[in-house]
Amino acid sequence: MKYRTLGKDLKVSALGLGCMGMTGVYGEATDRASMIKLIHNAFEHGVTFFDTAEAYGPFVNEELVGEALVPLRDKVVIATKFGFDINLKTGQRSGGVNSRPEHIRAVAEAALMRLKTDRIDLFYQHRVDPDVPIEEVADTVKELIWEGKVKHFGLSEASVKTIRKAHAVQPVTAVQSEYSLFWRAPEKELLPALEELGIGFVPFSPLGAGFLTGQITMDTKFPPGDFRNLVPRFSPEARKANLALVSIVKDVAKRKGATSAQVALTWLLAQKPWIAPIPGTTKLSRLEENLGAVDLVLTPSDLQEIDAATARIIVQGDRLPEAVLKMTGL
């Protein structure tokens, strides 16, 4: 494994592990004991960066990650999130956001309990709350950092304007947003701003929710409950057009003796030295495949070829359902 630094001094494995899918999202939740074992396997392969959130479940994902990482706590970085309007007693969601200072504090205390730890290494605002000035959010997290309950502040799906305002109050260590060959919008404004400010970037869905693995075809049927059934990019019409992108990745993978997933992840790692993607999986074989991307080398010629070929393709369909897109700060 190789390691990278987010922000000023948060050292993480070059590839982290997104744990969201371990408790649902892509269909039914997977066996808890198997997922704890998978998290341990990830650590044994050098992964030190684990991503969860109160909203995944709600709550059950944090509980899973917390239980799995208790024996490894001082050797790993745990990232979790606040920002949705979730009743901390019942888990009932209103469907909206909530970053009022008192709610942030309550979420932090609850997360510490579920994660079985005394500090949160990276605490992201999951979605921007338009009713709470970002300066108040940053100041609240700053207080939690002073108290030792949080180590680093992060933002997820935030605009450059929001990031700058927050960073002026409390330095932002990392920003998490979607980024891959399947969604390259961050390249226009976000990445230049993060480089200027010295903020790390954590791409989620680095494999395009599985699309860039090459395993999804026109015949693929997602199980009931799989969120991809609601994503416009995975509709039959959009999928047919978007498979051209997968063909490009497959061609490079074949030439390099690698898999499509490895090429897609290595491409991401090659973009900036302060990028640490968090691919998720529930299978050991996929975990090992993904981690192989760390040692794959894409030459400048390879990268130019990928960029030139993909530039001719316009990805069809929105990256998220309309209702979810409305909750982003972008």
Q: What is the DSSP letter of 170?
A: S
Q: What is the pTM of this model?
A: 0.96
Q: What is the DSSP letter of 86?
A: E
Grouped pLDDT means (10 residues each) for the chain, 330 residues: 98 98 81 97 98 96 98 98 97 95 98 98 98 98 98 98 98 98 97 98 98 96 91 95 97 98 98 98 97 98 97 94 71
Give phi and psi for 327, each to the nearest 5.
Answer: -90, 0
User: Residue 103 and residue 120: Cα distance in Å, rounded?
Assistant: 16
With a CB cutoff of 8 Å and minimum separation 6, the contacts of 206 are 179, 180, 264, 265, 268, 277, 278, 279
Active-site residue 179, yes or no?
A: no
What is the structure's pLDDT at 328? Answer: 65
Which of 3, 26, 56, 124 is the catalytic position?
56
Q: What is the DSSP letter of 132?
A: S
User: Residue 296 and residue 202: Cα distance in Å, rounded?
Assistant: 20
Q: Is the dihedral of CA 231, 237, 238, 243 positive or negative?
A: positive
Give domain limits for the chain.
Answer: 3-325
* Residue that has been written with the tokens 């079985």 in this structure: 116
What is the structure's pLDDT at 29? Answer: 74
Given a contact cutoff of 8 angstroms between Cβ atoms, the answer to whether 27 and 222 are in contact is yes
List the end-to-end C-alpha distance of the chain, in Å, as a whole number: 33
Tell me the CATH number for domain 3-325. Answer: 3.20.20.100
What is the structure's pLDDT at 325? Answer: 72
